Amino acid sequence: ITPYFTSLTFKPKKNIPEGSHQYELLKHAEATLGSGNLRMAVMLPDGEDLNEWVAVNTVDFFNQINMLYGTITDFCTEESCPVMSAGPKYEYHWADGTNIKKPIKCSAPKYIDYLMTWVQDQLDDETLFPSKIGVPFKRNFMSVAKTILKRLFRVYAHIYHQHFDSVMQLQEEAHLNTSFKHFIFFVQEFNLIERKELVPLQDLIEKLTTKDR
């Protein structure tokens, strides 16, 4: 099995097809993000379908987190991170419900590899994330999206708790903070992650979001 992250030049695999309605939505999101108002940027555009908006943004966050984690893979190793954690109080064990039913304890790089591969499989599933216009979303779409976002949050939490020094060394902290702030505003706007899941970064979330009330 080739690991998901093979080098620093890791490129996200998931592209939204140009010319599609989802591509237009992504462009809309990028344009409003450019205005610097993240609260406005996450709001559902007039007349748009919530499922589609959540789908487009989930793909976008997946790509962003891929790239952010890709920059620090040299620092996140079996030796440096023998368990997947977000500080001393929070440890994550992996299970996907199909291949691995009982949660297993594993290193952070292994966990993130499992996680990103699992997310990629969901995003590539046309029945879950239809790329064609007019193809309806499955009834369970929102619960799958919530699980994806909950798990992607754990990668941010691990980076902040265990690798922030490396992020600062690489001068990536502004990029990481903006990406995470966008992510948090988005999940708050649509109640996509339970509060208890966000606890490992609660102080940071309050700091990043109170300025923009």
Annotated binding residues, written as ranges, equal: 76, 81, 158, 163
- Residues at the binding site for Zn(2+) are 76, 81, 158, 163
Q: Please count the other Cβ atoms lying within 10 Å of the Cβ belonging to residue 61.
A: 23
For 94, phi and psi rounded to 5 degrees? -95, 135
